[in-house]
Structure 1
Amino acid sequence: MSISTTLSSINQITKEITRLEKALLDETKKEADITKKINSTKKSITKNTSVSTVNSKLGQIERYENDLVKTLNKKTDITKKIAQKREKLNSLNQKLQKEEQVESKRRQKEQEKVQKNYENRIDELTAQLKNNVSSNISEVGINTLDETLFEEKYDVFISHASEDKESFVRELADTLMKDYNIKVWYDEFSIKWGDSLRKSIDKGLKSSKFGIVIISKSFIKKGWTNYELDGLFQKEMTYGKTILPIWHDITKDEVQDFSPSLAGRKALNTSMYTIKEIAEELKNILDE
């Protein structure tokens, strides 16, 4: 039985218990009403009451007492059913607890697997970066390498999904450049007609001090964004802090599922920070 099925059973039994408790309350009120009628009828019999009237009232009392017995039997039956339902509810709650523990262990194993895959990927990227650096050194010499590979022409590279341009990214890039004089690599401004997309992105990644990563639902589904993110991770492994994450219309659980390492970093959230506040934060980092 799955957690959702168990929860459904718990909700159903809880509703049944509520219904039975209401029925028990109704029978309790009925019991009180019948008892009141019996006592009232008994009090109405006095020394001056005629024999025929006494017999009539005694017959009425007998009928009330029969109704009272039926009500007490119903109460006993309902009480028994409530006890059975509560016992079953307790059993289901224990079952739910065990199922949740199993599910928690399963998720933990999946997270550990994701983390392991991520660490392996970082190792692969690190080895690839070292090979690339060695190759560049052998081909162009250390002096040329200093001028080309490590030259920083941009303050920040913006990695994003195209679906987020209208809602956030384009305005962020405009604000950083026009209002804060920050040099930004942004595809709409930096890639010219006829340029190689991959080469332009590689050049932008190598030539930027930091990489702003706009993590959104669209971002985590894209191939290009993952390519850019791998490049930023490569650079960070060599030069230190490079990636500056921004969460845009996405939850922590969704980021966690995509990349545990990114979920563990301090990020700015567009639901809490305005574009101006984000720009101020970046400006402070660049001024350090």
Structure 2
Amino acid sequence: MSISSLQQKEKSLLNDISRLERTLASEQKKSSDADKKIADSKTAISRSKVASTIRSKQRTIESETKKSVSAKSKVANISGKIAKKRKELGDTQVKLSKVRTEESEKFQKDLKRSYDKQITKMRQIQNEEIKVVQSEILNDPSLNDKEYDIFISYASEDSEYVDKLEKSFKNANFSVWIDKSNIGWGQSIRQSIDNGLAKSKFELIVLSSKYIQKHWTGYELDGILNKESSTGRQMVLPLWHNVTKDEIDKKSPSLSNRLALDTRFNS
């Protein structure tokens, strides 16, 4: 049965049980009232010596006894029906719970399939973009005199991830400019950054929630975008790291519309 059919059956059973319980309460009251009248009549008989009164009370006892027996019979019958309905309700609710679980599991599987398709499509787009960038590097003679392949701009809070990223680049024989390795003790941070940007082919920006909030990363980003604007060549390689599009839209609209790699999907 479908969820809607089981829900309708559950509702119907609950209504039936509620109606039977009201009827049961009514019959129990009739039985109780009859038993009280019987007890009162017996007390009156024991105290009275008037024959007519005794006969009247005896008739009352006979009448109320019939009412009490009838009411108790109905109570027993209704109680049986309620027990049967409650069992049926329990079975229905078990089935309903099972069907809901199956529907939820199916929904989760469908959602995962849809998500996997989106990820696959996104990776295909990103891989094509990487090929374009690689082609530009190989065919652009103006990049031959650059000392560094990649300038990594990041927030210090993301150092753990960036350390792994730097190591991977170097293992792949890329030369990397990064502040912790290229800014010496006592050197001007601003001049070192400007020098690193001038000597780098591409600027990889590790965009995170922390990145878009900090002063120095903002300075680096301004320098990177200015350099790209002045050369007329794509230089920015955005990498989203634990950040949402809404955050980037608010802080850097110029980057939000660029195709970026995402660390959730790309190792």
TM-score class, shorter-chain normalisation, is: 0.5 to 0.7
What residue in structure 2 maps to residue 93 of structure 1?
Answer: 93
Give 1:166-205 correspondences, 5 Å limit: 176=213, 180=215, 182-183=217-218
Matched, 1:133 2:164: no
What residue in structure 2 maps to residue 212 of structure 1?
Answer: 243
Letter of the structure 2 residue corresponding to residue 137 of structure 1: I
Shift of 1:85: 1.6
> For the Cα contact (< 8 Å) 1:122–1:233, is it kept in 2?
no
Shift of 1:212: 3.5
Distance 1:99 1:137 in 2: 57
Letter of the structure 2 residue corresponding to residue 213 of structure 1: T
What residue in structure 2 maps to residue 64 of structure 1?
Answer: 64
Q: Deviations over 1:170-210 (max 9, x none)?
A: xxx7xx37xx5651899xxx8xxxx9xxx99x866x26786
What residue in structure 2 maps to residue 231 of structure 1?
Answer: 260
What residue in structure 2 maps to residue 267 of structure 1?
Answer: none
Distance 1:106 1:75 in 2: 46
Q: Percent identity, please.
A: 24
Identify if the C-alpha distance between structure 1 residues 233 and 47 changes in structure 2 by more than 3 Å, giving closer, same or farther: closer
Distance 1:125 1:61 in 2: 93
Shift of 1:150: 2.2
Letter of the structure 2 residue corresponding to residue 44 of structure 1: A
> For the Cα contact (< 8 Å) 1:7–1:96, is it kept in 2?
yes
TM-score by length of 2: 0.57
Distance 1:208 1:184 in 2: 18
Shift of 1:126: 4.8
Distance 2:78 2:264 in 1: 71
> For the Cα contact (< 8 Å) 2:202–2:235, is it kept in 1?
no
For structure 2, the residue ranges without an aligned partner over 5 or more in a row are: 151-198, 248-254
Identify if the C-alpha distance between structure 1 residues 149 and 99 changes in structure 2 by more than 3 Å, giving closer, same or farther: farther
Distance 1:156 1:88 in 2: 58
Matched, 1:105 2:105: yes
Matched, 1:151 2:203: yes
> For the Cα contact (< 8 Å) 1:125–1:234, is it kept in 2?
no
Shift of 1:136: 1.2
Shift of 1:59: 1.1
Shift of 1:75: 1.2
Distance 2:4 2:19 in 1: 23
What residue in structure 2 maps to residue 29 of structure 1?
Answer: 29
Q: Deviations over 1:140-177 (max 9, x none)?
A: 1554565575225x77488xxxxxxxxxxxxxx7xx37
Identify if the C-alpha distance between structure 1 residues 210 and 112 changes in structure 2 by more than 3 Å, giving closer, same or farther: closer
Distance 1:207 1:35 in 2: 88
Identify if the C-alpha distance between structure 1 residues 209 and 42 changes in structure 2 by more than 3 Å, giving closer, same or farther: closer
Q: Deviations over 1:211-238 (max 9, x none)?
A: 832459xxxxxxx97x65x52328973x
Shift of 1:23: 3.2
Letter of the structure 2 residue corresponding to residue 75 of structure 1: V
Identify if the C-alpha distance between structure 1 residues 185 and 14 changes in structure 2 by more than 3 Å, giving closer, same or farther: farther
What's the RMSD between the two structures over aligned residues? 4.2
Letter of the structure 1 residue corresponding to residue 202 of structure 2: F
Identify if the C-alpha distance between structure 1 residues 108 and 156 changes in structure 2 by more than 3 Å, giving closer, same or farther: closer
What residue in structure 2 maps to residue 51 of structure 1?
Answer: 51
> For the Cα contact (< 8 Å) 2:206–2:240, is it kept in 1?
yes
- Equivalent position SS for 2:45: coil
For structure 1, the residue ranges without an aligned partner over 5 or more in a row are: 159-172, 217-223, 241-288
TM-score by length of 1: 0.54
